[in-house]
Amino acid sequence: MDWSNLATPLGYSAQAAGGPLGFPLAPINAEAIGRKIAQFVVFLVNHGVLHDPTRVHVIGFSIGAQIAGIAGQHVKKYTGKPIQRITG
């Protein structure tokens, strides 16, 4: 999944004294991104592309690993079955 638009470090959403305070948006969007990945896995299962999520391997680096874990939590919540493997 390409989530680079949601991870840009140039996001400015707070004002500091005399100017904008920029901070990375990735941590703020991590939960939503993980949930979207889980929804995609569930979609694939529901449409017969995947037999079940225990055949899925999610890989993430840095905050992507956190997002992979969030996706795994949501897949288990939605389907009752865990993702087979998460590599961070």
**Given pLDDT bands bounded at 50, 70 and 90, which one contains residue 16?**
very low
Q: Which of 33, 45, 48, 55 is nearest to 78 (CA)?
A: 45
Phi, psi (5° rounding) for residue 52? -165, 165
Please answer whether residues 74 and 35 qualify as being in contact, where contact means their C-beta atoms are separated by less than 8 angstroms: yes
**Given pLDDT bands bounded at 50, 70 and 90, which one contains residue 82?**
very high
42-79 confidence digits (pLDDT tens): 999 999 999 888 989 999 988 889 999 999 999 999 99
